Amino acid sequence: MYIFGQPVLRKVAEDIDPENYPNLQELIDNMFETLRRSEGVGLAAPQVGLPIRLFIVDLDVLSEDEPQYKGYLKTFINPEIVEVSEETCSMSEGCLSIPGINESVKRPSKVLVNYLDEKFEEHELWLEGFEARVFQHEYDHLDGKMFIDHLSPFRKQIIKSKLIAMTKGKFNASYKCKANR
């Protein structure tokens, strides 16, 4: 897992040519394995060091409490946000690349999205609830953004020293990390 401070997390990722990307399925499988091991719900390619427009979401891990997410393992290739709702909501977010920090983030409640799945089939649909939230968080990673960018100057100030420590490799995570030291 690439940790805050790694330059790849701040790059705008490139579109994938899905029919001409070597070992794409293998990469996707590896990302799902990494995600399971880190006990997260979403993982974007820049978080594993690749500046390409791909992320995966595993809501199946929540299905014991939220049965509607049973089998929810989705791959999003070259995703786009077509439209967002005016209505917003706040939810607590964390990120595997920013271990130990959770903050409330305000985002649109619903998003109309477009993407290719792992079979390169195109989908366009409205997402809402937790699904919309995770999509927007992961989508940010593809534009070199992170959830902390959405915080107020006050909240940013509160977490600043933790972030500086993180760039020096001072943080705790239960998974394998690549930090800038």
> Is 177 among the residues that bind Ni ion (CB under 5 A)?
no
Number of residues that bind Ni ion (CB under 5 A): 1
Least distance between Ni ion and beta carbon 119 (Å): 25
Looking at 60-68, 87-95, 115-123, 163-171, which segment touches Ni ion (CB under 5 A)? 87-95
Least distance between Ni ion and beta carbon 96 (Å): 6
Least distance between Ni ion and beta carbon 18 (Å): 23
Binding test (CB under 5 A) with Ni ion, winner from 95, 101, 134, 177: 95
The Cα–Cα gap between 1 and 17 comes to 24
> 57-86 as b/e, with b when 16 or more CB fall inside 10 Å?
bbbbbeeeeeeebeebbbbbbbbebeebee
The catalytically annotated residue of 93, 103, 131, 138 is 138
Verify whether residue 87 is a known catalytic residue. no
Nearer Cβ to Ni ion, position 49 or 122? 49
Which positions are catalytic? 138
Binding-site ranges for Ni ion (CB under 5 A): 95
